[in-house]
Structure 1
Amino acid sequence: MTHLTLSDYDISAERGFLCRYDAPDVELHGKMAAVRNVAMALPKTLVTGRLRDLMLRDLPNNVEADDIADLTDEQARMAMVHYSFLIQAYVWGEADAPALLPRALAVPMHALAERLGQQPLLPYSGYVLDNWGLFDADRPIDLDNIFMIQPFLGGQDEAWFVLVHVAIEARAGKVLAAIPTILNAIATGDTDTVRVELEGMATHWAAINALFDRMPERCDPHTYFTRVRPYIHGWKDNPALPGGLIYEGVEAFGGKPQAFRGQTGSQSSIVPTMDALMQVGHADDPLKAYLDQLHIYRPPGHRKFIDDVRTQSSLRHFVEGAGDRDLTLAYNAIIQAVADFRSRHLQYAASYIQKQGKTSAGNDPDVGTGGTPFMKYLKKHRDETKARLIDA
């Protein structure tokens, strides 16, 4: 068994899957500075009704793949944040979705996606993981000390929606940090260490669920549905763009329309990592197939971490074979915590999406931002998690 080192996967105990650099300190120069200025003006231009004309008027039209290659990794990720917001705003910022993404957006977006190993539209990493900063560097990553860098319309509801996710990702760092120790202890038959680590993990999961519970404090369901959600949809399985989107000037696509899934919290790597560690599986259904497809939308290092944990973990078998009641209870506490997280997700899907009306192109209350029906399958996956409880 290979020892897992978090930094090898671009993960840290302090920040989890969040960027390990301070994103507000990343400087962009020349063309990229101009791109940043256009992106940061979105709260002004989106409300005009002529966003596309204003955007293309000010956006550099000569950003090439070579310009992207010259960026540092931190600069490329920051550019990905800004370009991906611009693309989503261009597609969904006016009444009718366009059939073509202009070259000024398409070429640099494709080059960034190729460099970063992701897909050429807004990913969860661009929306959440790389899109935050600290007010006070010597204080924790918590809701009273973080801000959103790049918005669409801006405002409390949009920022709070993103920042709750940021705070959850940060708290999950301690959960992720326990995984290598657990896997090593399983390999050596160290029951006590596995139990202690799981018990500590349960404490962090209680904090994660408490953070998730705070979503309604400053993110109103109707405001979310009408002012936040419309901009994060993709163009796969979306009736507003049934043929997909042509990326002008991207030779690799040969002028053919492309269909990519929209940004969604399901692109977070936390719950898939837990499923991999706890050996939780899901029976085939449309949501499982969709979640499997989302794997390529995650940053490469995070994908590899999930895959390696899944390959190495025998935690459930270890617990069942140990015959230790305290170990079983510790395992069950994590299963229950993840099931509780999924239950809260199900409740939010109902209140923030399903109970809202259809108000704009592509913003269907019965379909997730990734492009699939979700309600009954969210419940099924929650129930499948709870079914993994072991009799103590």
Structure 2
Amino acid sequence: MNKWDLALNRSFTRRGFLPEPDPVRHFPCDSEWAVFDELGRDLPSLLQDPGCRQYLREQQIPFWPGERNRPQDLPELRLYYLRLGFLASAYINQVGEPRATRLPPNIARPLCQACALLKRPPILSYDGYALYNWKRFRSEEPIALGNIDTLQNFVHLYDEHWFILVHVEIEALAAGIFSGIGRLLQEPWQDDLINSVLQAIGETVWRQVAVLRRIPERMDPALYYRTFRPYIRYFENVIYEGVKQAPMDFRGETGAQSSVMPLLVALLKIPHQPSSLTEHLADMRRYMPKEHLQVLKAVEELPDLRPYGEKEIYNQVLEAIASFREFHYGLAREYIQNQTDDPLGTGGTPYIKWLKQLIDETRAYQIP
């Protein structure tokens, strides 16, 4: 994707990294894949039963036809991946049972096949958990809290719906960032243009901060930690039966797999010191949709805005980004660190130390 393709792709300026049209809600009732909708609906109840894993092992799960990999097939393929990804993470990480180390072949093989078509690792990631996992109640109204709900959950508690949906609205707001990037690609660069774009992007990020601050409204820290966070945990030494006999490791679902912050870092050229953190962030790109990676690469090729921006306007964008990261850091302390002695996040990282580094380095890049 070159910069002109990015400028002409209106989907990004309408809804950020969310798919367009809205995600497919279910498979045709007379199709062989309709079984996924039933399993998806029943999964939160099944997970209350110690016999859940046995039940899932017995299910006959159809493969996705390899030839159905055209652009028009993508919405249903994403739903197929979403349903299978939830089943896999539910099976391995069932709360109340010892963590499983083998994924049965009836789940492992079709999951690996679908993820190969999507060019991504075979585990539920941020795209399946959030980007493709929503619907609107009123299609003519915005993708925003109050007008959206999830397609799939691990638990019956609304806390999990809320956790996912806050991320969905944040993703939708990223359309404002893309609108600014589109102007940079299509209009001659002048100081007024740069400052106008930076002002608009800063306002967008502050709106995202305001949405993130709503997390505590409907999500209890103890419930989050005990009930549904375990299901998005990383896979460690898991054998995918019928695929590969050697154990495999994969990162769990995490907000670090969102492309929004990497987009802002790429646009503003925010420097982060090489470390285990930057290596981890680079690895997170393996879990992003391939079209998002193309966008990030295109934005990375744009010239640096810093020499053109007015100091106060430029610094306000960085402050908005740092504030977003700072509030997220506070959530991590309240919802994870205060609930456990485990220093690792769902992606398998020492998140507290790393999140603080991102905040500090973002603020350090402000124009003095």
TM-score under structure 2 length normalisation: 0.93
Alpha-carbon distance in 2 for matches of 1:258, 1:347: 32
The residue type equivalent to 2:349 in the other structure is T
The residue type equivalent to 1:313 in the other structure is P
What SS does structure 2 have at the residue aligned with 1:258? strand
Alpha-carbon distance in 2 for matches of 1:216, 1:183: 38
Q: Could you tell me which residue of structure 1 aligns to residue 13 of structure 2?
A: 13
Alpha-carbon contact 2:13-2:176 (below 8 Å) kept: yes
Alpha-carbon distance in 2 for matches of 1:208, 1:113: 30
Q: How does 1:137-156 map to 2 (within 5 A)?
A: 137-156=139-158
1:380 equivalenced with 2:363 (yes/no)? no
Shift of 1:53: 1.1
What SS does structure 2 have at the residue aligned with 1:3? helix
Shift of 1:368: 0.7
Q: How does 1:68-87 map to 2 (within 5 A)?
A: 72-87=73-88
What SS does structure 2 have at the residue aligned with 1:176? helix
What SS does structure 1 have at the residue aligned with 2:206? helix
Q: How does 1:309-328 map to 2 (within 5 A)?
A: 309-319=299-309, 327-328=310-311
Alpha-carbon contact 2:27-2:33 (below 8 Å) kept: no
The residue type equivalent to 2:80 in the other structure is A
**Runs (4+) of structure 1 moved beyond 6 Å?**
none
The residue type equivalent to 1:63 in the other structure is F
The residue type equivalent to 1:246 in the other structure is I
Q: Could you tell me which residue of structure 1 aligns to residue 173 of structure 2?
A: 171
Q: Could you tell me which residue of structure 1 aligns to residue 138 of structure 2?
A: 136
1:340 equivalenced with 2:316 (yes/no)? no
- Identity rate, percent: 32
**Gaps spanning 5+ residues in structure 1: where?**
236-240, 320-326, 359-363
Shift of 1:61: 4.3
Q: Deviations over 1:292-337 (max 9, x none)?
A: 1101100001011111111223212443xxxxxxx22221111110
Alpha-carbon contact 1:61-1:103 (below 8 Å) kept: no
Deviates more, 1:382-391 or 1:64-73: 64-73
The residue type equivalent to 1:229 in the other structure is R
Q: How does 1:95-114 map to 2 (within 5 A)?
A: 95-114=97-116
Aligned-pair Cα RMSD in Å: 2.0
Alpha-carbon contact 1:15-1:171 (below 8 Å) kept: yes
Shift of 1:14: 2.2
Shift of 1:183: 4.5
Q: Could you tell me which residue of structure 2 aligns to residue 41 of structure 1?
A: 42
Alpha-carbon distance in 1 for matches of 2:8, 2:248: 34
Alpha-carbon distance in 1 for matches of 2:102, 2:25: 34
**Gaps spanning 5+ residues in structure 2: where?**
none
The residue type equivalent to 1:39 in the other structure is G
Q: Could you tell me which residue of structure 2 aligns to residue 208 of structure 1?
A: 208
Alpha-carbon distance in 1 for matches of 2:66, 2:37: 18
What SS does structure 2 have at the residue aligned with 1:315? coil
The residue type equivalent to 2:176 in the other structure is K
Alpha-carbon contact 2:150-2:165 (below 8 Å) kept: yes
How has the CA–CA distance of structure 1 residues 295 and 85 changed in structure 2, closer, same or farther, with 3 Å as cutoff?
same
Shift of 1:234: 1.3
Q: Could you tell me which residue of structure 1 aligns to residue 128 of structure 2?
A: 126
Shift of 1:184: 4.8
Alpha-carbon distance in 2 for matches of 1:34, 1:118: 24
1:230 equivalenced with 2:223 (yes/no)? no
Q: Number of aligned pairs?
A: 364
Q: Could you tell me which residue of structure 2 aligns to residue 116 of structure 1?
A: 118
The structure 1 residue matched to 2:287, chosen from 281, 284, 297, is 297
Q: Deviations over 1:255-278 (max 9, x none)?
A: 221111100011010000000001
Shift of 1:118: 1.2
The residue type equivalent to 1:104 in the other structure is N
The residue type equivalent to 2:125 in the other structure is P
The structure 2 residue matched to 1:246, chosen from 233, 236, 239, is 239
Shift of 1:27: 2.7
Alpha-carbon contact 2:163-2:215 (below 8 Å) kept: yes
Alpha-carbon contact 1:121-1:260 (below 8 Å) kept: yes
Alpha-carbon contact 1:183-1:313 (below 8 Å) kept: no
Q: Could you tell me which residue of structure 1 aligns to residue 332 of structure 2?
A: 349
What SS does structure 1 have at the residue aligned with 2:121? coil
Q: Could you tell me which residue of structure 2 aligns to residue 257 of structure 1?
A: 247
Shift of 1:63: 2.6
What SS does structure 1 have at the residue aligned with 2:357? helix
Shift of 1:22: 2.1
Alpha-carbon contact 2:134-2:151 (below 8 Å) kept: yes
Q: Deviations over 1:150-200 (max 9, x none)?
A: 000122110000000001111111112211322555xx4311111111112
Alpha-carbon distance in 1 for matches of 2:171, 2:69: 29
What SS does structure 1 have at the residue aligned with 2:246? coil
Shift of 1:357: 2.7
Alpha-carbon distance in 2 for matches of 1:123, 1:256: 22
How has the CA–CA distance of structure 1 residues 389 and 92 changed in structure 2, closer, same or farther, with 3 Å as cutoff?
same
TM-score under structure 1 length normalisation: 0.88
Alpha-carbon distance in 2 for matches of 1:47, 1:67: 37
